[in-house]
Structure 1
Amino acid sequence: MTPTHLPGRVAIPALPTVLDAFNIAPADEARKLLLTCLRSLRWADRVTAHRPYPDAPALLAASDEAAYDLTPADLSEALAGETLTALPDETYDIAHMALDAAHAAYEAKFGHAFVICLEGLSTGEALDHVLAAIRSRLTNDPEEERVIAAEELRRLAKARLVDALRGAGNCATSHNKPAPGTQQHTPPH
């Protein structure tokens, strides 16, 4: 039998996307990826359980919904896994000292690392934004700060998921390295 000639173009199947891979990954692999974006087991389980997602906006909406539903215990778990916000390497030592003091005061008052999403800010704007935000948030009472920290975690999770969907690596981090969407602050020596 001879092959028939097909007029026109031949359809080439699309390559799988990062979202496709996430949708078909075993649940434990999907959960592991999600935990690098937000360290809440309940959040990761909820987002994993609702797969497959038809598109990235649906995944991001599910991420937001699950983040809005974090209990105080879930929020504490997620905050415990966060690292300090980093400064650009070229930042002056005096700024590092000011930020270290602000972080120490924040952790003493609230019992967890200061979290903030720096999505959309240039490195030059990051220092001023972080210092202004931490100083402002130090005036909050613990419940008010918990609400703000939860919103920042939701924004961080979303930014990290977007990075992962863009293929900007596997969104993998450790407690010693910053997660995508944030930077790690290294004190001066």
Structure 2
Amino acid sequence: MTIDEFNALDGDGATALVLTAAAVPTWASAVVARRPYPDVAALLAAADSLAEHWAQPEVDAALADHPRIGERPHGSGAAADHSRREQAAVGTAPDTVRERVATGNRAYEERFGRIFLIRAAGRSPREILNELERRLTNDPATEVAEVADQLREITRLRLAGAFA
């Protein structure tokens, strides 16, 4: 898709596309409302700016659409396709790493009450495991901020990918 095609979409179509990057309806509506964009860089800058203050409600909304790290996404559609691509490396990890990630996922969910989220694209399974284990030591407020940062990174990559 080109930026001109995005700018020409009706509101529902543009919002649906933006929601594939992050399931945060208020953010997606705000991104769409700022159209037209002169180029993809301007769109990404606006999306980043609008996501800068994501907090617990936005994180919760977006996480509802994410699978656990190391698990295959269920369903179909753009969001599930993104997750499959982003987490592909974890499936190739040694059994010991996959087992530690699964154990860490359970500990994380017990501690923080939500799934562990990390920008998996570009990271090795070992890096993901190390980050999971490090973040288990975060206090809840620090972790919400880290999750929001990771979510913004994922969102930026996904949105940029829609225009590649």
TM interval, short-chain normalised = 0.7 to 0.9
Contact 2:117 / 2:150 at 8 angstroms: preserved in 1? yes
Tell me by how many angstroms 1:99 deviates. 0.8
The equivalent residue for 1:162 is 160
Pick from 56, 60, 63 the counterpart of residue 40 of structure 2.
Answer: 56
Tell me by how many angstroms 1:76 deviates. 1.6
Pick from 57, 62, 71 the counterpart of residue 78 of structure 1.
Answer: 62
Tell me by how many angstroms 1:81 deviates. 2.0
Contact 2:97 / 2:126 at 8 angstroms: preserved in 1? no
Over the residues paired in the alignment, what is the CA RMSD in angstroms? 1.5
Q: Name the amino acid aligned to 2:54.
A: L
Tell me by how many angstroms 1:87 deviates. 5.1
The equivalent residue for 1:170 is none
User: Normalising by the residue count of structure 2, what TM-score does the alignment of the two structures yield?
Assistant: 0.82
**Could you say which structure has the higher helix fraction?**
2
Contact 1:80 / 1:112 at 8 angstroms: preserved in 2? no
Contact 1:84 / 1:113 at 8 angstroms: preserved in 2? yes
Q: Deviations over 1:141-189 (max 9, x none)?
A: 11110001001111110000111110xxxxxxxxxxxxxxxxxxxxxxx
Question: 77-86 vs 54-63, which deviates more?
Answer: 77-86
The equivalent residue for 1:128 is 126
Greater CA radius of gyration, 1 or 2?
Answer: 1
2-structure distance, mates of 1:115, 1:58: 26
User: Normalising by the residue count of structure 1, what TM-score does the alignment of the two structures yield?
Assistant: 0.72
Q: 1:72 to 1:91 in 2, by over 3 A?
A: closer
- Residue 23 in structure 1 maps to residue 33 in structure 2: no
Task: Give SS of 1:82's match.
Answer: coil
Tell me by how many angstroms 1:118 deviates. 3.2
Contact 1:40 / 1:74 at 8 angstroms: preserved in 2? yes
Question: 46-55 vs 88-97, which deviates more?
Answer: 88-97
2-structure distance, mates of 1:117, 1:163: 14
Tell me by how many angstroms 1:93 deviates. 2.0
Q: Name the amino acid aligned to 1:98.
A: R
Q: Name the amino acid aligned to 1:77.
A: A
